[in-house]
Structure 1
Amino acid sequence: MTNKEKIKKIQAVIDHPGRERTYYSLLEDLGDLKGNYADYMTTEPINCNEELQRVANADYELCTALLTAILREDHLVMAPSSTDNAPVRLMKSLQEW
């Protein structure tokens, strides 16, 4: 899939956000679901509050790893406000790459 095609799919999800499954399906369709997302993290156990602070300087791979972690793990350490728009923020970061 070309970068242009990925950008179009990402934009479609940003324009019409849905449930967690929407984001998960997008990562699967793009071939960017990270089974090894923990390898990209700097905290253990994973602390999403800290990890999400890295988004501003994150590359595409880190953004997909962070999004995968948020979608796959329901026991991550995070404040509720930190994830309110996390998937959309990550999708916008993905789109910039």
Structure 2
Amino acid sequence: MASRAVASIALLLSLNVLFFNMVSAATCPIDALKLKACADVLGIIKIPPNQQCCSLLGNLVALEAGACLCTAIKANVLGLNLNVPLDLSLYLNRCGKKVPQGFKCP
């Protein structure tokens, strides 16, 4: 009987870990190549946000938007050398989003 309880607990813990990782992993639901429209956001601070960039990120929650920008930065789609934590925050802020607390580029 005890071995059955241990097996059940092990199964539940395994499923818990599996589902937790699936929920916490952010993915980009849009084509990262489209984010090339975001390349000039950092260079032009005194004008309104880049509408093409923000419209791409607009329908995404901050976690997804961050994941998309991280993907674009890592693939160098933007053609810029960026300081990821700071510049990611600037990109999202320009489009009215905030970097989720504790978010790190995957």
| Same structural fold, with TM-score higher than 0.5 when normalized by the shorter chain | no
Query: Larger C-alpha radius of gyration, 1 or 2?
Result: 2
Relative to the length of structure 1, the TM-score reads 0.35
The higher relative CO (CA closer than 8 Å, separation ≥ 6) is in 1
Relative to the length of structure 2, the TM-score reads 0.33
More helix by share: 1
